[in-house]
Structure 1
Amino acid sequence: MVAANGFVSLATDADVIAVPGAGPLAEPVGVAVTAGAIGLRIARATGRSVLLPVETALLSAVLLILVPALVALAAGGAGAAFLVLGEASTSLFTLADALLAAVAGLIALLIVRARAAGAGTPRWPWERER
């Protein structure tokens, strides 16, 4: 997510959070909390988690909107929090991170389903039994 935010920032010449009163920790805390929540959700995935990509995308979007707003509330007050809330909900950064979370959820779902179908750990040619 950090790399995606960096590339979007370079491409659009925009700050991730441009609200002056939000404080310097609004986005880093938001990304850290979001990455942890997505990691926990993916770790709990089962073969029946058909909507895992959608779940991770929505989880990412919601957390990347709410957590920076809460950090901005603590740092700059209600005005900064509302500005961050509005900015994050319409941001390309949030969209890019949600799309990456959906891709991560899809990959995790494919891995879980492959393991449930009996796929083993991949091995290099020299590791195979002869």
Structure 2
Amino acid sequence: MQDYQKYATIVALFATMLYGALVVAALGLISLATNLEVLPETDAGPLVGPSMVGGAVILVFVMLLILGIGGPAARERVAVGWAFLTGLCALLIYVFIGALLYAIDTGALVDLLIFTYAQLQSPFAWATGILAMIVTLVYSWILAARVGEHGRPLWPWERRGE
């Protein structure tokens, strides 16, 4: 693994942890501000909500890794389209995992459609997607800013000859 790929992997790991923290904070703050429950379905099990967030976090990590180590370092740029795709996929996986687990928990197939429709209208799913887009955009910007550097990042006092 090249230095650039190691750097991209470590930054992807930290960006994913940031994304997970932002999603949990955003869901809590939106719930407090709007006086809405994140999962209004009272018969949903205790693992439906965390599984939804976990699925989105794992998806964002995979998308960041594909973006970071997928191409050559010289071709890095700010990937607006990739960020939009990541946000859309995070929103969809958040809703799909929740709908699937809720339908399995209740045993009714029609609950899958009802849950999906309700989640697509809630601000929580959209916050998950928007935050994924923002984190991916910042991640690609950080990688693009490092193009042309070799090795580890240097402090200003370590660059005496420049």
Q: Structure 1 runs of 4+ off > 6 angstroms?
A: none
In the TM superposition, what is the alpha-carbon distance from 1:95 to its structure 2 partner? 1.1
d(CA) in 2 for partners of 1:82, 1:3: 27
Deviation at 1:123, TM superposition (A): 3.6
1:37-116 → structure 2 map (5 Å cutoff): 37-45=59-67, 46=71, 47=76, 49-78=79-108, 79-115=110-146
Q: Distance in 1 between matches of 2:26 and 2:149?
A: 32
The TM-score with structure 1 as length reference comes to 0.86
Contact 2:80 2:137 in 1 (8 A): no
Q: Quick check: 1:21–1:80 contact (8 Å CA) kept in 2?
A: no
TM-score by length of 2: 0.71
1:125: how far off?
Answer: 4.6
Structure 2 spans left out of the alignment, 5+ residues = 1-22
Q: Which runs of 5+ in 1 are unaligned?
A: none
Q: Which residue of 1 aligns with 2:48?
A: 26
**Which of 9, 13, 18 in structure 1 is aligned with 2:35?**
13
Aligned Cα RMSD in Å?
A: 1.9
**2: CA distance, partners of 1:50 / 1:100:** 14
* 1:86, distance to aligned residue in structure 2 (A): 1.3
* Distance in 2, Cα, partners of 1:88 & 1:40: 23
Q: Percent identity?
A: 30
